[in-house]
C-alpha cells in the first residue's frame, strides 16, 4: 500500500502528526516508511517507531534502552529484551515537542542501520 492510499481512509488528524514526525526523522537520516493496515511502521534495518491511529489520537510508539516519562504517556513503559517500549498519545502535531523529538532521534540512532 502506498502512503497516499493509506491516508485516503484515515482520520484527518493522522497525516499532520505523521508529517511532523517524518520531517524530524528525515533530518537525521533515511527512514523507510511502511504503511500497513494498522498504522505506519518507521524503519531503518528494522522498525524503531510506529504510528497507529486510535479513536481520538495517534499512538506513537518507540523503544529506548531506558525508561522515560511524558505527560502524554498513559501506559507504563513495558520492558522487552532489555529495551523499554513507550507509547505516547498524540492528538495534534504540536504535541510532538522537543522532548519527544529527542526520544525519536535516540530510537532512530539505536536502531540497526543495516
Each residue of 52-95: pLDDT tens digit?
A: 999 999 999 999 999 999 999 988 888 888 899 999 999 999 99
CB-CB contact of 61 with 85 (8 Å):
yes
Domains of the chain and any CATH numbers: 3-110 (3.30.1460)
Biggest alpha carbon distance in the chain?
37
pTM of structure = 0.91
Amino acid at each position: 500500500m502506498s502512503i497516499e492510499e493509506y491516508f485516503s481512509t484515515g482520520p484527518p488528524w493522522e497525516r499532520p502528526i505523521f508529517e511532523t514526525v517524518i520531517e524530524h526523522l528525515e533530518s537525521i537520516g533515511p527512514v523507510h516508511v511502511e504503511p500497513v493496515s494498522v498504522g505506519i511502521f518507521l524503519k531503518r534495518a528494522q522498525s524503531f517507531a510506529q504510528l497507529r491511529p486510535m479513536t481520538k489520537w495517534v499512538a506513537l510508539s518507540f523503544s529506548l534502552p531506558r525508561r522515560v516519562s511524558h505527560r502524554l504517556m498513559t501506559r507504563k513503559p513495558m520492558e522487552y529484551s532489555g529495551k523499554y517500549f513507550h507509547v505516547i498519545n498524540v492528538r495534534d502535531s504540536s504535541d510532538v515537542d522537543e522532548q519527544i523529538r529527542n526520544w525519536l532521534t535516540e530510537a532512530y540512532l539505536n536502531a540497526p542501520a543495516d
